[in-house]
Amino acid sequence: MNKLQAYTGVTKTGTSKIALVLGSTSTEENGIYEILKLLTFSFGSGFETCLPKKLELCSDEQCQNKLTTTITDDVYLKTPSVNAKNYMSSSKLIIKHTTPMVQSIYLQATSHNVSTIINGLAVVCGQETITFDESSASLLNVFLAKKSDTALEISLDKVWTSTHPNQEVEAAKLCPITSFVVCPTESCASKLDTLGELTITNSVLSVDISKSLSQTTYYVSPVTKGGIQSPKAIQI
């Protein structure tokens, strides 16, 4: 029986869809996915070395409605002619990295008169929403802390959360908060490389309170995979 044997190099969602995820549209190039590097096919006993001879995009899960090579202007299949010797090695799925989106992908692969349908999801992050826990606001008033030789540590992942409007993307956490930054201004257009009393390791902000603080205002912000930020003032 024909089957998709394995996924390689991709994330799988909770429903076993392959998920091709791109981050911020301002920092990354288009996604160009070579089919052979994404997927491994098996068409039953004795056919382990056979590759699909034909790839087709579809608009539905059963592939009843075949498309040409384009799902949308932002997601399309690029292949040589069907009979080309390098058909599979040259076949690529292109995801244009222009605007945030979530797009279902149905790709039918056929070999020796048997077919399998690959169900996927193309995601360009950037639609996520960041929520600040107002009950944690006092944590960012560091200048109120008493002097101590032990650094004050704040777990920033407990202060901000990120959610995506697409349920499947959210359930699989495909567009999470990936880092935290410290900025000199609220716009967070630039980042501080030298932080003085502040250091960030992973999601933990550490503040040196062993000496008198200057009551300087900085801005701390989470950054999602889609480049979304939500700066908040921190006074030290």
Per-residue confidence (pLDDT) for residue 179, from 0 to 100:
92
Stated pTM of the model: 0.80
Strands (E), 43-87: 54-58, 70-72, 75-78
- CA dihedral 220→28→22→202, nearest 10 degrees, is -30
Tens of pLDDT, residue by residue, the chain (236 residues): 334 343 444 555 555 577 788 887 766 678 888 877 776 666 555 555 567 778 888 888 888 898 878 888 888 888 888 777 788 788 888 988 888 999 988 888 887 777 778 888 889 999 999 999 888 777 777 765 677 787 778 888 888 999 999 999 999 899 999 999 988 889 888 887 767 777 888 888 888 777 776 677 888 899 999 999 999 888 77
Q: Which residues contact 194 (CB under 8 A, 6 or more apart)?
A: none
**CA 59 to chain CA centroid, nearest Å:** 23
* Segments of the chain assigned to CATH 2.60.40: 3-124, 129-235
Structure tokens at 231: 């700066």
Under CATH, what is the fold of the domain 3-124?
Immunoglobulin-like (2.60.40)
Beta carbons of 69 and 76 less than 8 angstroms apart: yes
Q: Which CATH architecture has domain 129-235?
A: Sandwich (2.60)
Per-residue confidence (pLDDT) for residue 1, from 0 to 100:
31
Per-residue confidence (pLDDT) for residue 189, from 0 to 100:
86
**Helical H runs in the chain?**
35-38, 87-90, 167-171
CA–CA dist 42, 51 (Å, integer): 8
Kindly write down the DSSP assignment for every residue of 178-233, as one continuous string: EEEEEESSTT--S--S--TTEEEETTEEEE--SS-----EEEEEEEETT--B--EE
Measured between alpha carbons, how far apart are the two ends of the chain, in Å? 65
Residue among 78, 67, 89 nearest 30 (CA)? 78
